Amino acid sequence: MRAWRAAAAGLSALAIFGLGGCGGAGPDQDPGSGTGESAGAVSGSVTVFAAASLTESFTTIGEQFEAAHPGTTVTFNFGGSSGLATQINEGAPADVFASASPKNLVTGAGPPAVFARNQLVIAVAKGNPAGVTGLAGLSRAGLKVALCAEAVPCGAAANTVIEAAGVAVTPVTLEQDVKAALSKLKLGEVDAALVYRTDAKASAADVDAVEFPESAEAVNDYPIVVLNGARNPAGARAFVDYVLSGEGTKVLTGAGFQAP
């Protein structure tokens, strides 16, 4: 399986789902079975554009999907959801789109299905040397904080929780996806980063996660959709079915996502 990551572009552009069209799992399919009615015919390449926070879990799901459907190859493009939506709207070839928020979606797609939920934590270096205990600590003078850019879901969620807490946070950097924000912490360039719980868990060897109650104010729903222009619609539908299946849910909850 090949996984590649494109740089996010045109983050100011937001799009919405077109709920009509031919994509998506039909009513005669069982989303929880892991196999659509076309499962026996599934083959070829399936290109999936997915939020950066799905990197670890979707890589595993892709490997499992390929094993369940010999002859298939899943290719991923991971990045900021709004940048990926812009790429798709500008004609980038893709079969499936999985976003970290319903607000960063695309035109020309079948009905979306929410497959997971996620929320923020404060990621700090192992042992929490900066002594961060909550959002209020991020306003401390001299503390370097990384946030995601507001155009991407992790940045929008960060703004929501910061406003809910009534604190003033001045980040030293605004990153185009959650992995980039976490990377700033791992490199020692910042003292803390607001990232998804799942990303902190995936990097537990390098960072600690500080939970905070305001994160409940911005729980992100993750929708997935088959694109109308999919070059492999049968493979795309089968992949979406697999994500929604018990096997896919097991991988996602194991990574720290919440069930929808």
Q: How many domains does the chain have?
A: 2
CATH number, domain with residue 125 = 3.40.190.10
What length does the chain have?
A: 260
Q: What secondary structure letter does DSSP report for 44?
A: E
Same-domain check for residues 61 and 99:
yes
Tell me, yes or no, whether 156 lies in a domain.
yes
State whether the Cα torsion 211-212-215-217 is positive or negative: positive
Residue 56: how many other CB atoms lie within 10 Å: 18
Tell me, yes or no, whether 93 lies in a domain.
yes
Same-domain check for residues 126 and 186:
yes
Q: Please say if the pLDDT value at position 6 is more than 50.
A: no
Tell me, yes or no, whether 260 lies in a domain.
no
Same-domain check for residues 19 and 75:
yes
Same-domain check for residues 180 and 243:
no
Q: Please say if the pLDDT value at position 44 is more than 50.
A: yes
Same-domain check for residues 17 and 145:
no
Using CA atoms, how far apart are residues 253 and 170, in angstroms rounded to an integer? Answer: 32
Same-domain check for residues 226 and 111:
yes
What residues make up the domain containing 203? 120-217
Give the pLDDT band of residue 8 (cuts 50, 70, 90): very low
- Average pLDDT of the chain to the nearest whole number: 86
C-alpha 108: how far from chain center: 20
Higher-pLDDT residue of 30 and 73 is: 73
Q: How do residues 108-161 score in pLDDT, each as one tens digit?
A: 787 899 999 999 999 999 999 999 999 999 999 999 999 999 999 999 999 999
Tell me, yes or no, whether 259 lies in a domain.
no
Tell me, yes or no, whether 232 lies in a domain.
yes
Same-domain check for residues 48 and 164:
no
Q: Please say if the pLDDT value at position 19 is more than 70.
A: no
Q: How do residues 53-84 score in pLDDT, each as one tens digit?
A: 999 999 999 999 999 999 999 999 999 999 99
Tell me, yes or no, whether 143 lies in a domain.
yes
The H or E element that residue 154 is part of is helix 153-165
Using CA atoms, how far apart are residues 132 and 248, in angstroms rounded to an integer? Answer: 34
Tokens read off for 256: 């720290």
Same-domain check for residues 110 and 12:
yes
Q: What secondary structure letter does DSSP report for 8?
A: P
Same-domain check for residues 176 and 243:
no
Q: Please say if the pLDDT value at position 21 is more than 50.
A: no
The H or E element that residue 65 is part of is helix 55-68
The residue behind tokens 């902190």 is: 200
The C-alpha angle with vertex 9 and arms to 106 and 117, in degrees rounded to 5, equals 50
Same-domain check for residues 6 and 110:
yes
Question: For residue 50, which of 253, 227, 202 has the smallest C-alpha distance?
Answer: 227
Tell me, yes or no, whether 31 lies in a domain.
yes
Same-domain check for residues 179 and 165:
yes
Q: What secondary structure letter does DSSP report for 31?
A: T
Give the pLDDT band of residue 16 (cuts 50, 70, 90): very low
Same-domain check for residues 72 and 134:
no
Q: What is the pLDDT of residue 2?
A: 40
